Amino acid sequence: MTLIIFLATWELLTVPTEDDLLGLFFLDPQYGWVVGKNDLILFTSDGGESWEKQNSTTTNYDLYDVVFVDQNHGWICGWSPYSGFGVILGTTNGGRSWRLQAGTGQASYTEGIDFYDQNYGWAVGYDIFSSASQVLLTTDGGSAWQDYTLSFNSYLKGVDFIDPQRGYACGNYGMVLKSTDGGHSWNRISPGGGQTFYELKAFDTTNIIVAGDTMILTTDGGKTWQIRPIGRLRSLSFLTMARGWVCGEGGILTTRDSGQTWIPETTNTQLPLNSIVMLDSLHGFCVGDSGIVLRRTVPPAVGEEVITEGMKLPSGIYDLLGRRVVTMKQGIYFIVSDGKTTKIVRLR
């Protein structure tokens, strides 16, 4: 038996909103953007210690996804719950000003966006007029967008390109699509089903992870898929095929074995979480309903502890630093009995 004790915790940050937060992007542990309902854009340059609102220039739009390729060039997509029309915004100055790149009549129900560099970008969603999957692509940073209505009826929600030609998208009805020509045409590679997939990560053309009502992964480019029995997910962030985090209605979970086993992480909130990004194995951010912004922190010079049965610890109660204690205050502890770790106790 191996028990992994995570010393990291998710800290609740103070932000100037109570609106539902739907997407986020961080360039590094300091610079990040969060988007959400009611035209909301938040920016931080100090790792979430302080936030400033940026003017989206939209009215009555819910903003779902945001991506940056450097501190200046970024894009946001979303749609209006009132008109049903979508929008794509772009900035070249870090969000000090945003301009409309695609809007009413061109983008509908747009929820996922990805850019490879300052020129090549893609947005995905659903065309409300034709009831079909929709992909928009640009090769000039968004000055012009090409609009493609696909022969699928899936509401696409996530997109990830590994280079300017090869990329993947996911949505409802168990849809995972692949493009090898920059997004002009798409082929289905998923097994189907009634699940909704919200986000995916493609490491290359063979290794892909998809999260939503369930989690699936492939190591052969979609010829075969492995299903992981975990659901109610809204977002994922994997550093490798094995090491990753997911969030959703059930909080935040982490895995070291491609989702065969999961360990919950402490968030101190019961609200649904909508988007997560991990910058490395220690630092990350997550956002959710009602203005929830979480930051993953690790005590300095501590990292993560792995405690195994083979250590043959004496029976007793231990804290996260491996110190045997007599009394327990607020925190996380583990109990050792007969040389085996039997459970973790957390007192609030």
pLDDT of res. 108? 80
Beta-bridge mates of residue 218: 208
pLDDT over 70, % of the chain: 85
Q: Which of 117-126, 128-137, 262-271 has the highest mean pLDDT?
A: 117-126
Instruction: Write down the domain spans for the chain.
Output: 2-297, 312-347
**What does the pLDDT look like over 281-332, one tens digit per residue?**
889 999 999 999 999 976 544 444 444 444 456 677 766 656 677 776 666 6
State the pLDDT confidence band at 104, using cuts at 50, 70 and 90: low
**What does the pLDDT look like over 129-178, one tens digit per residue?**
889 999 999 999 999 999 999 999 999 999 999 999 999 999 999 999 99
Mean pLDDT over 168-195 rounds to 95
Q: Which residue has the higher pLDDT, 338 or 56?
A: 56
pLDDT of res. 15? 97
pLDDT of res. 229? 86
Judged against a pLDDT cut of 60, whether residue 1 lies above it is answered with no
The CATH code belonging to domain 2-297 is: 2.130.10.10
What pTM did the predictor assign?
0.85
Hey, what amino acid is at 100?
A: L
Mean pLDDT over 53-81 rounds to 97
Mean pLDDT over 210-236 rounds to 96
Burial class (CB in 10 A: 0-12, 13-18, 19+), 162: middle
